[in-house]
Structure 1
């Protein structure tokens, strides 16, 4: 088994710019890799829908003129190798995955220009926007208006990880490649360059008239290849193994259980 080792960090604030939080030279063996963000460290998750052309086509939708936004509560957040729990209300052939590039705001942002936007991003990570499709858009369950917030907001519905990679190390996020694998099958494989609204545009748009707090997570959207897009659909089943891999960041792995 590969031994994972890491340097000790001293200080309380991972977004500190004063120098009080530092990476030391002391190296220890990691017994268990925890998620990079705890629920109490994430004020809110702002999520973007319909942000890849292929996903828009498989959903039979049109390209939106501006980012389509919904929210997830911090109670959705879990880490690498933790289980996604599908509640009883969402177990009837509708549980789905959405591999996504996510980023974390490092300092308060309001009315930010596109030109300055990337400087407000502290780090990038992998995410999985777990979704319940019937509760999202079945008119007999959701009503005439799609229920994105409710259907995607259950506990454990936002795995994040396996780590945070600083914006300095990532550089240009459009050069990243995203891949989602479910039970050994590649379901999604797309370049982040295919985002309709890129990371800079999202920071600028979301910050207009609104303060993005440090620690806020932005889920940038999923490419084509979600379970609902197949014929017949490929819904998540109990015991499913999901992997979201993004080049330069790593692989987020989570299992699925039905409560």
Structure 2
């Protein structure tokens, strides 16, 4: 198993596999306690999160139970989520870059004019606008060290590293000032996208095809762990870093989010009831492949990390 950053706090949660099958686990540094004598899955912990959190503290400090070396286990995606809610166009620099480039190429603005206009637009959006959110498929998920398998169709396969929050309490029409009470934990997601399948030339009036572009098998590496929110510190001040074949491509703070976590939670809960185990991805910062003019190819390696949440390492391969 590849090296990984130490998780924040005294413990984290995940799903692991050994010779005897998959099991929910309590991670403390380099060791994992098998929780299958307590619960059937990590999702079951989230269903009663307020009850389980203090019990997990006790289990982390006890020698009882079955313990494994983390290095001996396969690390799977940390949970099977309910909904996967994905926020698009939510990092200021990223969106400003996109808008400014369009104003230059399509409308003939100078670089200075284009950027100033894009900055004004983002100020207005942050003040008066609402997030842009769509649904993803849980079937796209894979583990943090699994291979990414490029689909048969499309050529511009791209990375989008994101902070994801895990819901730990049911809620609807949640007020922004109460939203953080519904966040149980955080994890790492890389929301891959096939750019040249994002727009349907046969259905231009309908617009983007999120299902096709984003939901190929293995296109959502998730984990390695769920780190309880209480251990993470300020989620609006975490570093998001992605390396493509050793080259840093994304390196940004979550401070750059246009809509912060409370506003995202409040917004999505006006439409859907949030339930324990739902994932909410908060958007990706500047530096994806489209920005660099570089896309994924077989043999590439992606290394991704977010402060205190661990590290992913995925090798890209072609479809069978």
Q: TM-score by structure 1 length? A: 0.90
**1:214 alignment partner in structure 2:** 276
Change (3 A) 1:204 1:217: same
Name the larger-Rg structure. Answer: 2
Determine the C-alpha separation between the residues in 1 that align with 2:85 and 2:271: 15
Which structure is higher in helix share? 2
Establish whether residue 255 from structure 1 lines up as the match of residue 315 from structure 2.
Answer: yes
Return the offset for 1:19.
4.3
**1:11 alignment partner in structure 2:** 38
Matches within 5 A, 1:3-152: 4-9=30-35, 10-12=37-39, 13-15=44-46, 16=48, 17-19=50-52, 22=56, 23=59, 25-26=62-63, 27-30=67-70, 31-38=72-79, 41-60=80-99, 63=122, 64=125, 65-90=129-154, 92=155, 94-137=156-199, 139-140=200-201, 143-144=204-205, 145-152=207-214
Determine the C-alpha separation between the residues in 2 that align with 1:7 and 1:97: 32
Return the offset for 1:170.
0.9
**2:252 alignment partner in structure 1:** 190
The CA RMSD over aligned residues, in Å, is: 2.2
Q: Is contact 2:93-2:256 (8 Å) kept?
A: no
Determine the C-alpha separation between the residues in 1 that align with 2:306 and 2:153: 31
Change (3 A) 1:253 1:109: farther
Return the offset for 1:171.
2.5
Determine the C-alpha separation between the residues in 1 that align with 2:184 and 2:287: 29
- CA deviation map 1:106-148 (0-9, x unaligned): 12121111111011111101110100001113x5366341212
Unaligned runs of 5+ in 2: 4-28, 103-120
Which structure is higher in strand share? 1
Q: Is contact 2:140-2:215 (8 Å) kept?
A: yes
Give the SS at the match of 1:213.
coil
Determine the C-alpha separation between the residues in 1 that align with 2:275 and 2:315: 30
Q: TM-score by structure 2 length? A: 0.73
Determine the C-alpha separation between the residues in 2 that align with 1:161 and 1:124: 9
